[in-house]
Amino acid sequence: MTTYGTNPKSSNDLAPKLEYITRGINQQKRSGLATRRPWKQMLDLGSFNFPRKLATVISRIRANTVYFQTNYTIVVLFSVSLSLIWNPFSLLILIALLGAWLFLYFLRDEPLAVFDREIDHRIVLIVMSVLTLSILFLTDAKLNIAVAIVAGAAAVLSHAAVRKTEDLYQTDEETSLLNP
């Protein structure tokens, strides 16, 4: 009997491969979002007060943007996506870009490597931000995007300025992020 043109593997042979792939995606999701800080910690009302000196404002913004970097990125992206609800073509482009963000920035458990060179996550963040803005500005939603970015940046900066930093860093590794 000839088996020409048939696949010798049964469909049951694919089940372990699919399980391996989904397990890998779940592990990447958990480890990639590990740098996201708990929203409860970010929005703790007991951690807010208005600073009296400009130097305090600048140091708070510097410390909070390092510590809540992923959260702040999510806030700005959420602001942009809200502004695009009434522009469906731009929203579809944003969804495609969100997939690129997830793959290249949020769900990575190791640094991105291009031509055997590791790319720092800050470089990936800057390149993806510029690429996202460039592509979205080619659509008809320029004003919506600009207003959303300004609103998101204002929300991020105001939060970073009034959020106290004394309770942020519990380990030496996290403290070294603030003072490179």
Residue 150 lies in a domain: yes
The per-residue pLDDT for 105 is 82
At 9-25, the pLDDT tens digits run 544 555 554 455 455 54
Of residues 60 and 1, more confidence is placed in 60
Indicate whether 147 belongs to any domain. yes
pLDDT in tens, 66-114: 888 888 988 998 898 888 888 888 788 878 888 888 888 877 778 888 8
Is position 31 within any domain? no
Q: Tell me, what's the pLDDT at 138? A: 82
Q: In this predicted model, what pLDDT tens digit does every residue of 143-170 receive, in sequence order? A: 888 899 999 999 999 988 888 877 776 5
Q: Judge whether 95 lies within some domain.
A: yes
The answer to whether residue 94 sits within a structural domain is: yes
Which residues make Cβ contacts (< 8 Å) with residue 34, sequence separation at least 6? none
Q: How confident is the model at residue 119 (pLDDT cuts 50, 70, 90)?
A: confident
Question: For the segment 24-73, what is each residue's pLDDT rounded down to a tens digit?
Answer: 545 544 444 456 787 887 888 888 888 899 999 999 899 888 888 888 98
Q: Does residue 93 fall inside a structural domain?
A: yes
Q: Is residue 131 part of a domain?
A: yes
Largest CA-CA distance found in the chain, in angstroms, rounded? 87
117 within some domain: yes
Length of the chain: 180
Number of domains in the chain: 1
pLDDT of residue 28: 46
| pLDDT of res. 151 | 94
Q: Which residue range(s) make up the domain with 101? A: 69-165
